[in-house]
C-alpha cells in the first residue's frame, strides 16, 4: 500500500542527501508532495497546504433566500 502524499510548500531552504549520498537543495517557496514521514523529517521547514475544493464552495454572488429583486 502506498503512503498518502500531502501537498506542502517549503518555507525555508532545505538541504539533504539522497540515497546515493548526493546533496539535494530545495529552495524556499517550492511546492511539492511529501509523505507524512518526510514532512516529520523536514520539521519546521515545510508547511502543509490544504487541498483546494472549488466544487464545494458556494457562489458569493448569490444571496441566500433571496429572489433576486432589490428592495428599494
The torsion defined by the Cα of 52, 38, 33 and 2, in degrees rounded to 10, comes to -100
- Rounded Cα gap, residues 30 and 27, in angstroms: 6
Residue 22 lies in a domain: yes
Residue 42 lies in a domain: yes
Q: How many domains does the chain have?
A: 1
Contact 26, 54 (CB under 8 A): no
Answer whether 0.85 is exceeded by the pTM: no
Residue 69 lies in a domain: no
Residue 63 lies in a domain: no
**DSSP strand E in 1-72: where?**
5-10, 14-17, 23-26, 31-35, 46-48
Expressed as residue numbers, the domain containing 37 is 5-51
Q: Retrieve residue 1's grid coordinates.
A: 500500500
Residue 31 lies in a domain: yes
Residue 58 lies in a domain: no
**Local structure of residue 3 (DSSP, 8 states):** P
Residue 59 lies in a domain: no
Percent of the chain with pLDDT over 90: 57
Per residue of the chain (72 residues), give pLDDT as tens: 678 999 999 999 999 899 999 999 999 999 999 999 999 999 999 999 986 544 444 555 555 555 556 665
Amino acid at each position: 500500500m502506498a503512503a498518502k502524499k500531502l501537498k506542502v510548500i517549503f518555507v525555508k531552504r532545505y538541504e539533504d542527501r539522497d540515497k546515493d549520498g548526493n546533496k539535494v537543495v530545495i529552495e524556499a517557496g517550492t511546492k511539492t508532495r511529501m509523505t507524512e514521514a518526510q514532512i516529520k523529517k523536514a520539521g519546521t521547514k515545510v508547511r502543509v497546504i490544504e487541498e483546494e475544493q472549488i466544487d464545494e464552495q458556494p457562489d458569493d454572488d448569490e444571496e441566500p433566500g433571496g429572489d433576486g429583486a432589490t428592495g428599494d
